[in-house]
Homo-oligomer: A and B are copies of this chain.
Amino acid sequence: LLQPPKGAVLAVATDTLVEGVHFMKGLPPSPLGWKALAVNLSDLAAMGAEPAFALLNLTLPDGRASVVDEFMRGFEALAQSHRVALVGGDTTQGPLAVTVTVIGYVPKGEALRREGARIGDDLWVTGTLGDAAGALALWRGGTPMLRTGGLRERMDRPIPRVGAGRVLRGIAHCCIDVSDGLLADLGHLLDAAGLGADLDAGALPASSALVGAFPAREQRLPLQLTGGDDYELLFTAHPRQRAEIERALAAVATPVTRIGSIVPGSVVRLLDDGGNELPVPPRAGWEHFRGTSA
């Protein structure tokens, strides 16, 4: 029984992860526990909501009950860092799957939404793009997962941008988290507004781990544009807010990069440093791990 703060509205998010579909068979339980919560906190972050409570439904095959403790270690580590209380759920027998539901609060009228991009808005993204996709690409190319280093860490233990979502209230015109890939999630913002975007290919932020593993930009670009599993916030804001955005996100220790702008039309153009159009890969969403195992 949970007491909502005065003047708050509820924000809720829920997500199911199925073994072999959303995560690889053989993923250790601790990162799974972390990630199952992280993807939902990322959804709340994109609404500018403060997470408060979580519910956990864990379905485990017979004889796998031993994984619960380790699963909970990963789950609790992230829950505690955001003061999220686990208030309900169940454990059932069946094929390995986990559903997490989170409930958070946002002051009435201040929630961030997908709708609201305007012509001339800057397009921004937090953090870096393509790390999780890079880990997966290395692994599909034969690199053992253990040797994908920081890239794999990004895939297994994404950091939900909760603080960033909070400080963007009242600044961002619209916001979404990048879970299906930059182009796919940008598409959601643009569809909601009936607008297009110009993306600055040279501005797309990459981690040093990604640059190290994929030194050529033409290797990195598809990972950053369509990879998914980034859990960064993608948002638009008026150009006069640039200094305010950099200040606000620095205050919550979140890197942020301006990667383009909102334009009339319904098309995404990808531009190189000279302003020439580059081919845009299909904005297909994240492929997941369907039918594979580590």
Which positions in A face B, CB cutoff 8 Å?
Answer: 1-4, 8-22, 47, 53, 55, 57, 59, 87-90, 92-95, 97, 99, 101, 103, 106, 108, 111, 290
Contact = CB atoms under 8 A, between A and B. Distances in A.
A55 B12 contact: yes
Contacts of A290: 93
Contacts of A21: 92-94
A1 B18 CA distance: 27
Given A18-B94, A92-B18, A3 B13 contact: no
A158 B108 CA distance: 37
A103 to B, nearest CB: 7
Contact of A97 (B12, B15, B97): B97
B14 A88 contact: yes
Q: How many copies does the complex hold?
A: 2
Contact of A14 (B13, B20, B55): B55
Nearest to A93: B21
Nearest to A108: B3
Contact of A1 (B19, B22, B47, B90): B47
Contacts of A8: 4
Contact of A99 (B1, B11, B99, B108): B99
A254 B97 CA distance: 37
A92 B53 CA distance: 23
Contact of A10 (B4, B16, B97, B108): B4
Which of A3, A17, A57, A111 gathers most chain B CB within 10 Å?
A: A57
A12 B95 contact: no
B12 A53 contact: yes
Nearest to A109: B1
21 contacts: A1-B9, A1-B11, A1-B111, A2-B9, A4-B4, A10-B103, A12-B88, A14-B57, A14-B89, A14-B99, A14-B101, A15-B57, A15-B90, A16-B59, A16-B90, A18-B59, A18-B92, A20-B94, A55-B101, A93-B290, A101-B101
